[in-house]
Amino acid sequence: EAGVAQSPRYKIIEKRQSVAFWCNPISGHATLYWYQQILGQGPKLLIQFQNNGVVDDSQLPKDRFSAERLKGVDSTLKIQPAKLEDSAVYLCASSWTDRRGGNTIYFGEGSWLTVV
Amino acid sequence: KQEVTQIPAALSVPEGENLVLNCSFTDSAIYNLQWFRQDPGKGLTSLLLIQSSQREQTSGRLNASLDKSSGRSTLYIAASQPGDSATYLCAVKGNYGQNFVFGPGTRLSVLP
A82-102 pLDDT tens trace: 999 999 999 999 988 655 555
Q: pLDDT tens for residues A59-86?
A: 999 999 999 998 889 999 999 999 999 9
Chain A interface residues facing chain B, Cβ-Cβ under 8 Å? 4, 33, 40-45, 48, 56, 91, 93, 99-110, 112
pLDDT of residue A98: 54
Chain B interface residues facing chain A, Cβ-Cβ under 8 Å? 4, 31-32, 34, 36, 41-46, 49, 51, 89, 91, 93, 97, 99-100, 102-105
Please answer yes or no on whether B49 and A103 come within 8 Å at the CB atom. yes
Please answer yes or no on whether A101 and B89 come within 8 Å at the CB atom. no
| Cβ atoms of A105 and A94 closer than 8 Å | yes
Average pLDDT of adjacent 10-residue blocks, chain B of 112 residues: 93 96 95 93 91 93 96 97 97 82 96 95
Query: DSSP code of A71?
Result: G
The C-alpha angle with vertex A92 and arms to B33 and B76, in degrees rounded to 5, equals: 30
Q: Residue A35 and residue A43: Cα distance in Å, rounded?
A: 6
What's the maximum distance between 2 C-alpha atoms anywhere in chain A? 40
Print burial letters for A22-37: b (CB count within 10 Å at least 16), e (below 16): ebbbbeebbbbbbbbb
Q: Which residues of B touch A41 (CB under 8 A)?
A: 104
- Across chain A, mean pLDDT equals 91
- Please state whether beta strands B10-14 and B106-111 pair in parallel, antiparallel, or not at all (unpaired): parallel
pLDDT of residue A102: 58
